[in-house]
Structure 1
Amino acid sequence: MECRLSAACLCNMGRVRGNNEDNFYFDGRTMPLDHTSLDKPLLQDVSTSPFAAFGVFDGMGGEENGEVASFVAAETFKDKCRWLREYVAPPQQFLAEASAAMNDAVAAEARKVPGRVGTTGVMLCFSEDEVYCGNVGDSRAYRFHRSALFQLSTDHNDAKFLRDHGVVGRKPRLTQYIGLDPEEMMIEPSYAKEKLQQGDRYLLCSDGLTDMLDNLTLCSILKNSATVQQGVEALMDAALERGGRDNITIILVEVEEVRA
């Protein structure tokens, strides 16, 4: 079984931040360390045989540490993906091993500087007629199926605690992220698996998008975008129009064809 995918990617610094701590992995491509924004979308048509992979990373830390963390994670994931063609274990195991490798690499960088340094990570691995999602942190993955949006990733933050205790005015804090010292806490990525269906779309994004746009707006834009390029451009424009208070990274993948 093989599926044909059409994918698009955009990354923007936003309207408020002075630097861009986001990065991505887009079927072999990442953003250089000294980046700000993509001038135009990256586009790619790929096959799920043997695999295709995508990821979004949202760094955190003082000065340039967040940029370094997301860059190291993206480059480490890129290195792991180079061996994916020869990988015989299930994709979820690959995502687990890739997450551990990214955590070790970012944690090594974090030891060089004071304070908390790390990055979120949300990854999709397409293989044959299935897609596997893995995430650490609160960058999100969604499936857009029959005009409805379903979140595949799990938010690793204290949002539920804030709601349960009536705390308002504070952004949820991460409960885990890539870059934790393994001697203090082991990361526990969350996973999801879906069967690919023609016409479905998969959205990866940093919280610079989801903090600006609610699910109804995301659905409306995805429903009214004829192509993945139009989709990422419309999502980015809407997030910037709403204020663009954070860095914004968007990857949109559509299942164009399912072949037996």
Structure 2
Amino acid sequence: MTLHLDTGVASDVGGYRDINQDAAFVAPWGAGVADGVGGGPAGDLASAAFLHRLVSAGGAQVDDGESLVRRIRAANGDLSAHVRRDPALTGMATTFTGVWFTHEGTLLLAHTGDSRAYLVRDHHLIRQTRDDSFVQSLVDQGAVSEEDAMRHPRRNIITASLRGDEGDVVRVTERTGLRGDRWLLCSDGISDYLPDEVIAAILRSVAVPQETADLLIAAALDAGSRDNVTAVVADIVPGERDDDAEPEFAGAAATRFIERFDELAG
């Protein structure tokens, strides 16, 4: 049975930031969220440039995990090219969490940083990623509870990101994609402010992916999120997958590089 993604995406700058440094894309063959690293220069440029390079370099053409790793490293290399052209951008970086179907229908999960992936299967919410963060290391050591981690003053310190260096951490793993699965990809503007039980309730209660993404954004803002907030909801559904479908962008990626993407994809 051929499967594809039925998706919804939403992104909001929030009430405490001037610029949206989150970026996202969705397509029948893949989806992803990138969050420009706070405290560094041009986080919006980093997240948008990374995603546009990632999806414009061949669209859906991914054969296996190694193929996606190469695509991610090529997109990461674009960040260093920006820095070479403008040294003032030194230090810009982004997270990335995404899912992607190979030609043969294998589902791949890519993750670097503290944007998250959740899976709802048989009504159970299962977190699929481990944050690359200082606070996550404290949780792993038992020094901080998951609940306290959401309020920890150093929760935004990440330990891995994509900044254009050859040694940057790039993880891609295979997952089993089943009909009826629902994936959530989100920036920490959601996961730092909404407990898992709230996220699970929203994901289970709304059928339409776009409406679900919109509701997650609204809930995070109502919870007092002080960050940009971005949600991608992707349902795995039966049907022919259009590997030629152009992606839809949101956040910083919807306002930067659109003309360049059109040229590369054309």
Query: Shared topology, TM-score over 0.5?
Result: yes
Matched, 1:153 2:153: no
For residues 228 and 161 of structure 1, what CA distance do their matches in structure 2 show?
Answer: 32
Q: How does 1:103-252 map to 2 (within 5 A)?
A: 103-111=76-84, 112-113=87-88, 116-127=91-102, 128-163=104-139, 164=141, 166=143, 168-182=152-166, 186-252=167-233
> Which residue identity does 2:76 align to in structure 1?
N
Taking the TM superposition and a 5 Å limit, the aligned residue runs for 1:248-259 are: 248-257=229-238
**Aligned twin of 1:36:** none
Provide structure 2 residue ranges, at least 5 long, that are not aligned to the other structure: 145-151, 241-266
Structure 2 match to 1:19: 19
Residue identity matched to 1:196: G
What's the counterpart of residue 58 of structure 1? 35
How far is the alpha carbon of 1:22 from its aligned partner? 0.8
Aligned partner of residue 24 in structure 2, secondary structure:
strand
Cα gap change, 1:61 to 1:134, in 2 (>3 Å): same
Structure 1 residue 218: Cα displacement: 0.7
The answer on whether the counterparts of 2:182 and 2:236 sit within 8 Å (CA) in structure 1 is: yes
Q: Which has the higher contact order (CA 8 A, sep 6+)?
A: 2
Task: Check the 8 A contact 2:10/2:210 in 1, yes or no.
Answer: no
The residue identity in structure 2 corresponding to 1:131 is L
TM-score by length of 2: 0.78
Superposition TM-score, scaled by structure 1 size: 0.80
Letter in 1 for 2:134: D
Q: Which residue of 2 aligns with 1:80?
A: 57
Cα offset, 1:103, TM superposition: 1.7
Is the contact made by 2:134 and 2:154 (CA closer than 8 Å) also made in structure 1?
A: no
Identity over the aligned pairs, expressed in percent?
27
Task: Work out the CA distance in 1 between the residues paired with 2:201 and 2:91.
Answer: 37
Gaps of 5+ in 1: 28-45, 47-51
Query: Quick check: which one's helix share is greater?
Result: 2
Partner of 1:5: 5
Q: Per-residue deviation at 1:81?
A: 3.8
Aligned length: 229
| Whole-Å separation in 1 of the counterparts to 2:75 and 2:10 | 22
Do the aligned partners of residues 108 and 139 (structure 1) sit closer, same or farther apart at CA in structure 2, a change above 3 Å counting? same
Provide the alpha-carbon RMSD of the alignment: 2.3
Amino acid at match of 2:238: E
Deviation sequence 1:127-186 (CA, Å, 0-9, x none): 35431101111111121111111222232122244344858532242111111433xxx0
Query: Matched residues in 2 for 1:154 and 1:190: separation?
Result: 11
Hey, what's the Cα distance between the residues in 2 that align with 1:97 and 1:11?
27
> Cα–Cα, structure 1 residues 129 and 75, in superposed 2: closer, same or farther, change >3 Å?
closer
The answer as to whether partners of 2:9 and 2:233 remain within 8 angstroms in 1 is: yes
The residue that corresponds to 1:100 in the other structure is 73
CA distance in 2, matches of 1:130, 1:77: 19
Mapped to 2, the partners of 1:116 and 1:4 lie a distance apart of: 36
Instruction: Check the 8 A contact 1:142/1:202 in 2, yes or no.
Output: yes
Q: Is contact 1:134-1:192 (8 Å) kept?
A: yes
